[in-house]
Structure 1
Protein backbone atom coordinates (compact mmCIF):
# COMPACT_ATOMS: atom_id res chain seq x y z
CA UNK A 1 0.00 0.00 0.00
CA UNK A 2 1.12 3.54 -0.69
CA UNK A 3 1.41 5.73 2.37
CA UNK A 4 1.51 8.76 0.09
CA UNK A 5 0.62 9.20 -3.57
CA UNK A 6 1.21 12.55 -5.27
CA UNK A 7 -0.38 12.92 -8.69
CA UNK A 8 0.25 15.75 -11.16
CA UNK A 9 0.87 18.27 -8.39
CA UNK A 10 1.56 21.85 -9.48
CA UNK A 11 1.52 25.06 -7.46
CA UNK A 12 2.42 28.66 -8.24
CA UNK A 13 2.87 31.85 -6.23
CA UNK A 14 1.49 34.24 -8.81
CA UNK A 15 3.86 34.01 -11.82
CA UNK A 16 6.47 31.92 -9.94
CA UNK A 17 6.09 28.17 -10.33
CA UNK A 18 6.94 26.47 -7.03
CA UNK A 19 5.99 22.90 -8.01
CA UNK A 20 5.55 21.61 -11.53
CA UNK A 21 3.82 18.30 -12.21
CA UNK A 22 5.10 16.28 -9.24
CA UNK A 23 4.17 12.60 -9.22
CA UNK A 24 5.54 9.98 -6.83
CA UNK A 25 4.55 7.34 -4.27
CA UNK A 26 5.93 6.44 -0.86
CA UNK A 27 5.50 2.82 0.19
CA UNK A 28 3.91 2.26 3.60
CA UNK A 29 6.40 1.55 6.35
CA UNK A 30 9.34 3.06 4.44
CA UNK A 31 11.66 5.95 5.21
CA UNK A 32 11.39 8.40 2.32
CA UNK A 33 13.90 11.22 1.92
CA UNK A 34 13.01 14.30 -0.13
CA UNK A 35 16.33 15.90 -1.03
CA UNK A 36 16.73 19.26 -2.69
CA UNK A 37 18.58 22.55 -2.41
CA UNK A 38 17.02 25.46 -0.56
CA UNK A 39 14.20 26.92 -2.64
CA UNK A 40 13.55 23.71 -4.56
CA UNK A 41 9.94 23.48 -3.37
CA UNK A 42 10.19 21.11 -0.40
CA UNK A 43 8.40 23.37 2.09
CA UNK A 44 5.70 24.18 -0.47
CA UNK A 45 5.05 20.45 -0.82
CA UNK A 46 4.74 20.08 2.97
CA UNK A 47 2.35 23.05 3.07
CA UNK A 48 0.16 21.36 0.45
CA UNK A 49 0.33 17.99 2.20
CA UNK A 50 -0.89 19.59 5.43
CA UNK A 51 -3.45 21.85 3.71
CA UNK A 52 -1.79 25.05 4.83
CA UNK A 53 -2.16 25.81 1.12
CA UNK A 54 -5.09 24.71 -1.01
CA UNK A 55 -4.40 22.44 -3.94
CA UNK A 56 -4.29 24.24 -7.27
CA UNK A 57 -3.64 21.35 -9.65
CA UNK A 58 -3.30 17.62 -9.09
CA UNK A 59 -4.13 15.52 -6.04
CA UNK A 60 -2.55 13.97 -2.97
CA UNK A 61 -3.68 10.71 -1.41
CA UNK A 62 -2.71 9.64 2.11
CA UNK A 63 -3.30 5.93 2.61
CA UNK A 64 -5.88 6.07 -0.17
CA UNK A 65 -7.71 9.15 1.11
CA UNK A 66 -7.76 12.11 -1.28
CA UNK A 67 -6.97 15.53 0.17
CA UNK A 68 -9.46 16.96 -2.32
CA UNK A 69 -12.38 14.66 -1.59
CA UNK A 70 -11.67 13.33 1.93
CA UNK A 71 -9.50 15.94 3.66
CA UNK A 72 -10.42 14.98 7.21
CA UNK A 73 -9.70 11.30 6.67
CA UNK A 74 -6.42 12.12 4.92
CA UNK A 75 -5.20 14.58 7.55
CA UNK A 76 -6.07 12.14 10.32
CA UNK A 77 -3.30 9.89 8.98
CA UNK A 78 -0.64 12.64 9.22
CA UNK A 79 1.72 13.79 11.93
CA UNK A 80 3.86 16.82 11.14
CA UNK A 81 7.06 18.42 12.41
CA UNK A 82 7.50 21.78 10.71
CA UNK A 83 10.81 23.50 10.05
CA UNK A 84 9.93 26.35 12.42
CA UNK A 85 9.12 25.22 15.94
CA UNK A 86 5.55 25.85 17.13
CA UNK A 87 6.00 24.80 20.75
CA UNK A 88 5.03 27.22 23.52
CA UNK A 89 8.33 27.87 25.27
CA UNK A 90 6.70 28.98 28.52
CA UNK A 91 4.65 25.81 28.92
CA UNK A 92 6.05 22.54 30.18
CA UNK A 93 6.56 19.55 27.91
CA UNK A 94 3.47 17.92 29.45
CA UNK A 95 1.34 21.06 28.96
CA UNK A 96 2.34 21.39 25.30
CA UNK A 97 1.36 17.80 24.65
CA UNK A 98 -1.88 18.01 26.63
CA UNK A 99 -2.96 21.08 24.67
CA UNK A 100 -2.32 19.31 21.38
CA UNK A 101 -4.19 16.20 22.54
CA UNK A 102 -7.20 18.37 23.40
CA UNK A 103 -7.14 19.88 19.89
CA UNK A 104 -7.43 16.35 18.53
CA UNK A 105 -10.42 15.65 20.79
CA UNK A 106 -8.71 13.03 22.94
CA UNK A 107 -10.31 12.34 26.29
CA UNK A 108 -8.28 13.18 29.39
CA UNK A 109 -7.73 9.49 30.05
CA UNK A 110 -6.54 8.73 26.50
CA UNK A 111 -4.41 11.88 26.44
CA UNK A 112 -2.59 10.91 29.65
CA UNK A 113 -1.92 7.39 28.37
CA UNK A 114 -0.64 8.56 25.01
CA UNK A 115 1.48 11.33 26.48
CA UNK A 116 3.09 8.80 28.84
CA UNK A 117 3.69 6.45 25.92
CA UNK A 118 5.23 9.07 23.64
CA UNK A 119 7.42 10.63 26.33
CA UNK A 120 8.81 7.20 27.14
CA UNK A 121 9.34 6.49 23.44
CA UNK A 122 11.21 9.78 23.03
CA UNK A 123 13.21 9.22 26.26
CA UNK A 124 11.72 12.39 27.75
CA UNK A 125 9.71 11.08 30.69
CA UNK A 126 11.99 12.76 33.21
CA UNK A 127 11.66 16.12 31.44
CA UNK A 128 7.85 16.20 31.33
CA UNK A 129 7.51 19.04 33.86
CA UNK A 130 10.36 21.13 32.45
CA UNK A 131 9.54 24.26 30.50
CA UNK A 132 10.33 23.84 26.83
CA UNK A 133 12.67 26.84 26.83
CA UNK A 134 15.03 24.91 29.15
CA UNK A 135 15.48 22.09 26.61
CA UNK A 136 18.21 21.96 24.00
CA UNK A 137 17.35 21.92 20.30
CA UNK A 138 17.45 18.15 19.93
CA UNK A 139 15.12 17.58 22.87
CA UNK A 140 12.70 20.22 21.58
CA UNK A 141 12.53 18.34 18.29
CA UNK A 142 11.76 15.16 20.19
CA UNK A 143 8.90 16.92 21.96
CA UNK A 144 7.57 17.96 18.56
CA UNK A 145 7.81 14.38 17.33
CA UNK A 146 5.97 13.17 20.45
CA UNK A 147 3.29 15.78 19.81
CA UNK A 148 2.98 14.77 16.16
CA UNK A 149 2.45 11.13 17.13
CA UNK A 150 -0.15 11.63 19.89
CA UNK A 151 -3.12 10.99 17.61
CA UNK A 152 -1.42 7.84 16.26
CA UNK A 153 -0.88 8.86 12.62
CA UNK A 154 0.48 6.43 10.06
CA UNK A 155 2.64 8.91 8.17
CA UNK A 156 5.09 11.33 9.79
CA UNK A 157 6.22 14.39 7.80
CA UNK A 158 9.37 16.21 8.88
CA UNK A 159 10.27 19.43 7.06
CA UNK A 160 14.00 20.16 7.54
CA UNK A 161 13.57 18.91 11.11
CA UNK A 162 17.31 19.05 11.80
CA UNK A 163 17.64 22.74 10.89
CA UNK A 164 19.59 24.67 13.50
CA UNK A 165 20.92 21.60 15.30
CA UNK A 166 24.60 20.85 15.76
CA UNK A 167 25.99 17.87 13.77
CA UNK A 168 25.77 15.35 16.62
CA UNK A 169 22.19 16.38 17.44
CA UNK A 170 21.26 16.16 13.75
CA UNK A 171 22.61 12.65 13.50
CA UNK A 172 20.91 11.59 16.73
CA UNK A 173 17.55 12.93 15.56
CA UNK A 174 17.89 11.23 12.19
CA UNK A 175 18.70 7.88 13.84
CA UNK A 176 15.82 8.30 16.26
CA UNK A 177 13.25 8.83 13.50
CA UNK A 178 14.62 5.83 11.62
CA UNK A 179 14.16 3.69 14.73
CA UNK A 180 10.53 4.82 14.93
CA UNK A 181 10.06 3.88 11.29
CA UNK A 182 11.63 0.45 11.76
CA UNK A 183 10.27 -0.46 15.18
CA UNK A 184 6.78 1.06 14.97
CA UNK A 185 6.06 0.50 11.26
CA UNK A 186 5.70 4.24 10.82
CA UNK A 187 5.93 5.72 7.32
CA UNK A 188 8.23 8.75 7.14
CA UNK A 189 8.85 11.56 4.68
CA UNK A 190 11.97 13.47 5.73
CA UNK A 191 12.87 16.60 3.76
CA UNK A 192 16.43 17.86 3.76
CA UNK A 193 19.14 19.59 1.76
CA UNK A 194 21.91 17.67 3.56
CA UNK A 195 23.41 14.57 1.95
CA UNK A 196 24.67 13.09 5.21
CA UNK A 197 21.07 12.56 6.34
CA UNK A 198 20.49 10.04 3.53
CA UNK A 199 21.10 6.28 3.85
CA UNK A 200 21.43 3.73 1.01
CA UNK A 201 18.09 2.00 1.67
CA UNK A 202 16.07 5.24 1.68
CA UNK A 203 13.37 5.86 -0.90
CA UNK A 204 15.01 8.96 -2.35
CA UNK A 205 13.28 11.80 -4.19
CA UNK A 206 15.37 14.64 -5.60
CA UNK A 207 13.61 17.95 -6.17
CA UNK A 208 15.12 20.88 -8.04
CA UNK A 209 13.61 24.07 -9.48
CA UNK A 210 10.03 22.90 -8.73
CA UNK A 211 10.42 19.54 -10.49
CA UNK A 212 11.16 15.99 -9.39
CA UNK A 213 14.39 15.27 -11.26
CA UNK A 214 15.09 11.74 -9.94
CA UNK A 215 13.66 9.05 -7.70
CA UNK A 216 14.60 5.55 -6.55
CA UNK A 217 16.48 3.93 -3.71
CA UNK A 218 19.45 6.00 -2.64
CA UNK A 219 21.82 3.13 -3.41
CA UNK A 220 20.64 3.26 -7.04
CA UNK A 221 22.43 6.60 -7.46
CA UNK A 222 25.84 4.95 -7.09
CA UNK A 223 28.60 5.23 -4.57
CA UNK A 224 28.97 8.98 -5.02
CA UNK A 225 25.58 10.44 -4.17
CA UNK A 226 27.12 13.89 -3.83
CA UNK A 227 28.27 13.83 -7.47
CA UNK A 228 24.85 12.63 -8.65
CA UNK A 229 23.10 15.30 -6.61
CA UNK A 230 25.40 18.02 -7.93
CA UNK A 231 24.75 16.91 -11.49
CA UNK A 232 20.98 16.71 -11.05
CA UNK A 233 20.71 20.11 -9.37
CA UNK A 234 23.18 21.99 -11.55
CA UNK A 235 21.73 25.16 -13.16
CA UNK A 236 21.73 23.53 -16.60
CA UNK A 237 20.02 20.33 -15.44
Structure 2
Protein backbone atom coordinates (compact mmCIF):
# COMPACT_ATOMS: atom_id res chain seq x y z
CA UNK A 1 0.00 0.00 0.00
CA UNK A 2 1.37 3.42 -0.92
CA UNK A 3 0.17 6.95 -0.44
CA UNK A 4 -0.12 8.82 -3.68
CA UNK A 5 2.71 11.24 -4.36
CA UNK A 6 0.46 13.71 -6.13
CA UNK A 7 -2.86 15.31 -5.41
CA UNK A 8 -4.56 13.05 -7.92
CA UNK A 9 -4.44 15.69 -10.64
CA UNK A 10 -0.75 15.64 -11.38
CA UNK A 11 0.11 18.12 -8.63
CA UNK A 12 2.99 17.77 -6.21
CA UNK A 13 2.62 16.01 -2.86
CA UNK A 14 2.06 18.15 0.22
CA UNK A 15 4.71 16.11 1.99
CA UNK A 16 7.08 13.49 0.64
CA UNK A 17 9.39 11.55 2.94
CA UNK A 18 11.86 9.33 1.06
CA UNK A 19 14.10 6.68 2.66
CA UNK A 20 14.56 8.66 5.89
CA UNK A 21 16.56 7.10 8.72
CA UNK A 22 17.80 8.68 11.93
CA UNK A 23 19.78 7.53 14.95
CA UNK A 24 20.60 8.91 18.37
CA UNK A 25 24.11 7.55 18.71
CA UNK A 26 23.74 3.78 18.45
CA UNK A 27 19.96 3.87 18.93
CA UNK A 28 18.02 3.76 15.66
CA UNK A 29 14.90 5.96 15.88
CA UNK A 30 13.75 5.77 12.24
CA UNK A 31 14.59 3.15 9.63
CA UNK A 32 14.09 3.80 5.91
CA UNK A 33 10.73 5.58 6.27
CA UNK A 34 9.05 6.56 2.99
CA UNK A 35 5.57 7.93 2.30
CA UNK A 36 3.78 10.83 0.63
CA UNK A 37 0.56 12.63 1.46
CA UNK A 38 -1.65 14.61 -0.87
CA UNK A 39 -2.80 18.20 -0.30
CA UNK A 40 -6.13 18.81 1.44
CA UNK A 41 -6.18 15.42 3.16
CA UNK A 42 -6.21 14.31 6.80
CA UNK A 43 -3.52 11.72 7.47
CA UNK A 44 -3.03 10.05 10.84
CA UNK A 45 0.50 9.07 11.90
CA UNK A 46 -0.35 6.31 14.32
CA UNK A 47 2.18 4.80 16.68
CA UNK A 48 2.90 4.01 20.30
CA UNK A 49 5.02 6.33 22.41
CA UNK A 50 8.61 5.85 21.27
CA UNK A 51 7.64 4.70 17.78
CA UNK A 52 9.46 7.64 16.16
CA UNK A 53 6.65 10.12 15.55
CA UNK A 54 8.30 13.08 17.28
CA UNK A 55 11.67 12.33 15.69
CA UNK A 56 10.01 12.37 12.28
CA UNK A 57 8.32 15.69 13.03
CA UNK A 58 11.64 17.14 14.20
CA UNK A 59 13.20 16.18 10.86
CA UNK A 60 10.32 17.56 8.81
CA UNK A 61 10.44 20.87 10.72
CA UNK A 62 14.25 21.02 10.49
CA UNK A 63 14.82 20.91 14.25
CA UNK A 64 17.04 17.96 13.37
CA UNK A 65 19.10 17.74 10.20
CA UNK A 66 18.22 14.95 7.79
CA UNK A 67 21.20 12.63 7.49
CA UNK A 68 19.77 9.81 5.42
CA UNK A 69 17.00 10.26 2.87
CA UNK A 70 15.09 13.37 1.85
CA UNK A 71 12.00 15.34 2.87
CA UNK A 72 10.07 17.64 0.54
CA UNK A 73 7.21 20.00 1.33
CA UNK A 74 5.27 20.84 -1.83
CA UNK A 75 8.35 19.88 -3.83
CA UNK A 76 10.83 21.95 -1.82
CA UNK A 77 13.64 20.01 -0.17
CA UNK A 78 13.74 20.74 3.57
CA UNK A 79 17.55 20.49 3.68
CA UNK A 80 18.44 22.30 0.46
CA UNK A 81 15.67 24.91 0.29
CA UNK A 82 14.59 25.15 3.90
CA UNK A 83 13.14 28.66 3.62
CA UNK A 84 10.81 27.77 0.77
CA UNK A 85 9.86 24.47 2.41
CA UNK A 86 9.24 25.71 5.94
CA UNK A 87 7.16 28.74 5.00
CA UNK A 88 4.62 26.22 3.70
CA UNK A 89 4.54 24.41 7.04
CA UNK A 90 2.66 25.07 10.27
CA UNK A 91 3.39 22.90 13.30
CA UNK A 92 1.94 22.26 16.74
CA UNK A 93 4.26 20.32 19.02
CA UNK A 94 3.15 18.20 21.96
CA UNK A 95 4.64 20.53 24.58
CA UNK A 96 2.75 23.76 25.30
CA UNK A 97 4.63 26.73 23.85
CA UNK A 98 2.53 29.83 24.57
CA UNK A 99 4.04 32.61 26.69
CA UNK A 100 1.78 32.45 29.72
CA UNK A 101 2.41 36.06 30.73
CA UNK A 102 1.25 37.46 27.38
CA UNK A 103 -2.31 37.81 26.15
CA UNK A 104 -3.68 35.68 23.34
CA UNK A 105 -3.35 38.62 20.99
CA UNK A 106 0.24 39.33 22.05
CA UNK A 107 1.23 35.69 21.55
CA UNK A 108 -0.24 35.64 18.06
CA UNK A 109 0.91 39.09 16.94
CA UNK A 110 4.49 38.32 17.98
CA UNK A 111 4.40 35.16 15.87
CA UNK A 112 2.94 37.12 12.94
CA UNK A 113 5.81 39.61 13.13
CA UNK A 114 8.31 36.75 12.88
CA UNK A 115 6.72 35.89 9.54
CA UNK A 116 6.89 39.50 8.34
CA UNK A 117 3.13 40.06 8.54
CA UNK A 118 2.24 43.74 9.10
CA UNK A 119 0.28 44.80 12.15
CA UNK A 120 -2.97 45.58 10.33
CA UNK A 121 -3.01 42.35 8.34
CA UNK A 122 -1.95 40.40 11.43
CA UNK A 123 -4.94 41.75 13.36
CA UNK A 124 -7.31 40.68 10.58
CA UNK A 125 -5.80 37.20 10.38
CA UNK A 126 -5.79 36.77 14.16
CA UNK A 127 -9.45 37.73 14.47
CA UNK A 128 -10.40 35.43 11.58
CA UNK A 129 -8.46 32.45 12.94
CA UNK A 130 -9.72 32.90 16.48
CA UNK A 131 -13.25 32.79 15.12
CA UNK A 132 -12.43 29.59 13.23
CA UNK A 133 -11.09 27.89 16.35
CA UNK A 134 -13.86 29.21 18.59
CA UNK A 135 -11.73 31.55 20.68
CA UNK A 136 -12.81 35.04 19.58
CA UNK A 137 -13.89 36.01 23.09
CA UNK A 138 -10.43 35.35 24.60
CA UNK A 139 -8.42 37.80 22.45
CA UNK A 140 -7.15 39.90 25.35
CA UNK A 141 -7.00 37.22 28.05
CA UNK A 142 -3.67 36.11 29.46
CA UNK A 143 -2.60 32.72 28.15
CA UNK A 144 -2.25 31.38 31.70
CA UNK A 145 -6.00 31.85 32.23
CA UNK A 146 -6.84 29.35 29.48
CA UNK A 147 -7.58 25.66 29.86
CA UNK A 148 -5.38 23.06 28.17
CA UNK A 149 -7.84 22.67 25.31
CA UNK A 150 -8.11 26.42 24.84
CA UNK A 151 -4.33 26.78 24.76
CA UNK A 152 -4.18 24.13 22.08
CA UNK A 153 -6.73 26.01 19.97
CA UNK A 154 -4.60 29.16 20.24
CA UNK A 155 -1.53 27.19 19.17
CA UNK A 156 -3.44 25.92 16.14
CA UNK A 157 -4.42 29.48 15.24
CA UNK A 158 -0.80 30.55 15.64
CA UNK A 159 0.41 27.75 13.38
CA UNK A 160 -2.03 28.91 10.69
CA UNK A 161 -1.18 32.63 10.80
CA UNK A 162 1.18 32.55 7.82
CA UNK A 163 -1.37 30.49 5.86
CA UNK A 164 0.66 27.31 5.40
CA UNK A 165 -0.85 24.64 3.15
CA UNK A 166 0.54 21.87 5.39
CA UNK A 167 -0.09 21.50 9.14
CA UNK A 168 1.62 19.01 11.47
CA UNK A 169 0.28 18.24 14.94
CA UNK A 170 2.18 16.03 17.37
CA UNK A 171 -0.05 14.37 20.01
CA UNK A 172 -2.17 17.54 20.08
CA UNK A 173 -4.81 16.11 22.45
CA UNK A 174 -2.55 14.62 25.12
CA UNK A 175 -3.81 15.50 28.60
CA UNK A 176 -7.15 16.84 27.38
CA UNK A 177 -10.58 15.60 28.41
CA UNK A 178 -12.81 13.77 25.94
CA UNK A 179 -14.86 16.85 25.04
CA UNK A 180 -11.77 18.98 24.43
CA UNK A 181 -10.16 16.24 22.34
CA UNK A 182 -13.27 15.95 20.18
CA UNK A 183 -13.43 19.71 19.74
CA UNK A 184 -9.78 19.98 18.65
CA UNK A 185 -10.19 17.16 16.14
CA UNK A 186 -13.37 18.70 14.74
CA UNK A 187 -11.59 22.05 14.34
CA UNK A 188 -8.70 20.51 12.41
CA UNK A 189 -10.96 18.42 10.18
CA UNK A 190 -12.97 21.54 9.40
CA UNK A 191 -9.79 23.39 8.38
CA UNK A 192 -9.00 20.57 5.96
CA UNK A 193 -12.47 20.86 4.43
CA UNK A 194 -12.77 24.67 4.34
CA UNK A 195 -9.17 25.83 3.88
CA UNK A 196 -7.88 22.92 1.82
CA UNK A 197 -4.84 22.34 4.03
CA UNK A 198 -3.06 19.02 4.32
CA UNK A 199 -2.76 17.65 7.87
CA UNK A 200 -0.43 15.08 9.40
CA UNK A 201 -1.89 14.22 12.81
CA UNK A 202 0.38 12.16 15.09
CA UNK A 203 -1.30 10.17 17.86
CA UNK A 204 -1.22 6.90 19.78
CA UNK A 205 -4.98 7.05 20.37
CA UNK A 206 -6.89 4.79 18.02
CA UNK A 207 -10.24 6.47 18.72
CA UNK A 208 -8.97 9.59 16.92
CA UNK A 209 -9.00 7.74 13.59
CA UNK A 210 -12.05 7.99 11.31
CA UNK A 211 -12.91 5.64 8.48
CA UNK A 212 -12.26 8.33 5.86
CA UNK A 213 -8.69 9.00 7.05
CA UNK A 214 -5.39 8.01 5.53
CA UNK A 215 -3.24 6.13 8.04
CA UNK A 216 0.51 5.66 8.51
CA UNK A 217 1.53 3.20 11.24
CA UNK A 218 4.98 3.45 12.82
CA UNK A 219 6.42 0.68 14.95
CA UNK A 220 9.89 1.01 16.46
CA UNK A 221 10.92 3.49 13.79
CA UNK A 222 9.64 1.49 10.83
CA UNK A 223 6.61 2.23 8.68
CA UNK A 224 4.60 -0.99 8.90
CA UNK A 225 1.39 0.14 7.16
CA UNK A 226 0.22 2.96 4.90
CA UNK A 227 -3.07 3.55 3.13
CA UNK A 228 -6.66 4.42 3.86
CA UNK A 229 -8.37 2.77 6.81
CA UNK A 230 -10.04 0.09 4.69
CA UNK A 231 -6.73 -0.86 3.05
CA UNK A 232 -4.86 -1.10 6.34
CA UNK A 233 -7.61 -3.19 7.94
CA UNK A 234 -7.82 -5.51 4.93
CA UNK A 235 -4.04 -5.99 4.73
CA UNK A 236 -3.89 -7.18 8.34
CA UNK A 237 -6.84 -9.54 7.97
CA UNK A 238 -8.66 -7.79 10.79
CA UNK A 239 -12.17 -6.36 11.02
CA UNK A 240 -11.50 -2.88 12.44
CA UNK A 241 -8.70 -0.32 12.52
CA UNK A 242 -8.47 -0.91 16.27
CA UNK A 243 -7.77 -4.61 15.70
CA UNK A 244 -5.36 -3.77 12.87
CA UNK A 245 -3.40 -1.34 15.05
CA UNK A 246 -3.28 -3.92 17.81
CA UNK A 247 -1.73 -6.49 15.50
CA UNK A 248 0.65 -4.03 13.82
CA UNK A 249 1.85 -2.72 17.21
CA UNK A 250 2.18 -6.12 18.86
CA UNK A 251 -0.34 -5.30 21.57
CA UNK A 252 -3.42 -7.13 22.76
CA UNK A 253 -6.84 -5.50 22.82
CA UNK A 254 -6.71 -4.77 26.56
CA UNK A 255 -3.43 -2.88 26.14
CA UNK A 256 -5.01 -0.79 23.38
CA UNK A 257 -7.98 -0.10 25.67
CA UNK A 258 -5.71 0.91 28.54
CA UNK A 259 -4.07 3.58 26.37
CA UNK A 260 -7.32 5.41 25.77
CA UNK A 261 -8.03 8.37 28.11
Give the TM-score normalised by the residue count of structure 2.
0.88
Residue 194 of structure 1 is matched in structure 2 by: 205
The residue number in structure 1 matching 2:153 is 142
Of 143, 168, 172, the residue aligned with 1:132 is 143
Distance 2:73 2:152 in 1: 24
How far the C-alpha of 1:58 sits from its partner, in A, is 0.5
Q: Are 2:219 and 1:203 aligned?
A: no
Return the offset for 1:39: 0.2
Q: Segments of 4+ in structure 1 off by > 4 A?
A: none
Match of 2:28, SS state, is: strand
**Which fold has the larger relative contact order, with Cα–Cα distance below 8 Å and residues 6 or more apart in sequence?**
1
**Residue 218 (structure 1) shift:** 1.2
* Counterpart in the other structure of 2:250: 234
Residue among 45, 48, 52 paired with 2:63 = 52
* Number of equivalent positions: 235
Q: CA deviation at 1:128?
A: 0.2
C-alpha separation in 1, matches of 2:146 and 2:50? 30
Q: 1:155, CA displacement in angstroms?
A: 0.3
Distance (whole Å) between structure 1 residues aligned to residue 49 and residue 205 of structure 2: 10
1:110-149: per-residue Cα shift (whole Å, max 9, x none)? 2111111111111211110011111111111110000000
What are the Cα deviations for residues 19-64 of structure 1, in whole angstroms up to 9, with x where unaligned?
Answer: 0000000011100100000000000001001111011100000001
TM-score normalised by L of structure 1: 0.97
Give the structure 1 partner of residue 100 of structure 2: 89
Q: Distance in 1 between matches of 2:119 and 2:243?
A: 52
Aligned: 1:115 with 2:126: yes
The residue aligned with 1:73 is: 84
Structure 1: distance between partners of 2:169 and 2:50 = 16
Q: What is the alpha-carbon distance in structure 2 between the residues aligned to residue 205 and residue 149 of structure 1?
A: 23
Greater displacement, 146-155 / 113-122: 113-122
Are the aligned partners of 2:62 and 2:79 in contact in 1 as well (CA < 8 Å)?
no
Q: In structure 2, how many angstroms separate the alpha carbons of the residues matched to 1:9 and 1:113?
A: 39
Gaps of 5+ in 1: none
Name the SS of the counterpart of 1:2 in structure 2.
Answer: coil
- For 1:154, the equivalent position in structure 2 comes to 165
Counterpart residue number, 1:219: 230
Corresponding residue of 2:8: none
